[in-house]
Amino acid sequence: MTINFKSNIRIFIFSFIILALASAAVVFKSGLFFSEEPIYIALVHSTKDGQPAWDGVEDVSRGAQMYIDSINEMGGANGKPIKLVIYDDHADANMAKQVASDIVAQNQAVVVLGHLDSNACIAAGKVYKEAKIPAISPTCMADAVTVGNKWYFTTVPSATFNGAFLANYVKKVMKYNDVSIIYDDQSAFFASIAKSFQNSFRGIKGKIKHEEIIHQQDNIDKRVEEVTQAFLRDKPSFVVLIIPEKIAKKMIVSMKRNGLTFPIFAKNILPNTGIFDEYFEEQLTPGFF
């Protein structure tokens, strides 16, 4: 058996070159190698105590990254890779303003995706407006996010629209002529919806029978008990909750346990069938709350 050493060397070198070219093609296709400087996009999401501030937060960043990955796999935008840089404002207005200042100072991002909380959007929006950086929020509904700021955009209906729609639905479809309302006046989002609802409901000859304010700086358990006692005295026919989900949950449990059975419309509560599972009444009788 004769071994052609030179021939084997040529085959080895040729195979190595083919493998190297194939590897380079894979790297290029995956977006890991581009000849151009990346296009940077900033994304601001919100966590509290290391966890998403609310359900859906992770979906925003995950969805954006998946789409950017698909663009990069096809060669990027005009040959340039897109890079997503993620920030966290912890759903806090002061932190949001600091994050916005950091994004501007780094002078890389051509657009900002976020923020996710209306108060945070409003605070950060002032920074983006001054720096002339466009921002797009997928969740912020408060009118003040975009009114007077041509650099901020949202992909969801405004709080004014939501409030007016709800008022018309309660009055004209559900046929209730008077309602009681509980809302958070410290949140631009909830306060805007509540104001729009009240103005619209009164505008179509409806009556706001009872008005209560609860916000997250309160002693929540105490305020929930106070409101429940007020409703026991006042006997509302229909209640609208325009408050954060955790407070609304406590409010519903308190009212139900005290025998109040009027219909409740809760704005911004997710249709989670297990939301009350921790309570013994729900465990004994599913659907109790």
Inter-residue contact 134 to 108 (CB < 8 Å)? no
Q: For residue 200, give the 3-state DSSP assignment.
A: helix
Confidence (pLDDT) at 5: 35
Q: Choose the weakest-confidence range: 9-13, 51-55, 56-60, 220-224.
A: 9-13
pLDDT at 63 over 50: yes
9, part of any domain: no
- pLDDT by residue (tens digit) across 190-236? 999 999 999 999 999 999 999 999 987 779 999 999 999 999 998 99
Higher-confidence position of 109 and 7: 109
Residue 87: HSE in the Cβ half-sphere, 13 Å Cα cutoff: 27
Assess whether 271 and 167 both reside in one domain. Answer: yes
Confidence (pLDDT) at 129: 97
Confidence (pLDDT) at 244: 86
Across the range 155-184, mean pLDDT stands at 94
Report the domain count for the chain.
2
pLDDT at 25 over 50: no
pLDDT at 51 over 80: no
275, part of any domain: yes
In order, the DSSP letters of 2-71 are ---HHHHHHHHHHHHHHHHHHHHHHHHHTTS--SSPPEEEEEEE-EETTEESSTTHHHHHHHHHHHHHHH
Domain region containing 106: 31-154
Assess whether 106 and 180 both reside in one domain. Answer: no
- pLDDT by residue (tens digit) across 97-134? 999 999 999 999 999 999 999 999 999 999 999 999 99
Average pLDDT, the chain: 85
Nearest-angstrom CA–CA distance, 203 and 164: 10
Confidence (pLDDT) at 54: 67
Assess whether 147 and 164 both reside in one domain. Answer: no
pLDDT at 269 over 80: no
Inter-residue contact 222 to 247 (CB < 8 Å)? no
21 to each of 46, 80, 267, how far by Cα in Å? Answer: 42, 21, 57
Assess whether 118 and 179 both reside in one domain. Answer: no
Q: In the listed set 154, 178, 203, which residue is the last one of a domain according to the structure?
A: 154
Q: Angle, nearest 10°, between helix axes 159-168 and 188-203?
A: 40
Strand spans (E) along 149-271: 152-154, 178-183, 207-213, 239-242, 264-266
Assess whether 174 and 118 both reside in one domain. Answer: no
pLDDT at 44 over 50: yes
Across the range 78-93, mean pLDDT stands at 93
Q: In the listed set 130, 154, 178, which residue is the last one of a domain according to the structure?
A: 154
180, part of any domain: yes
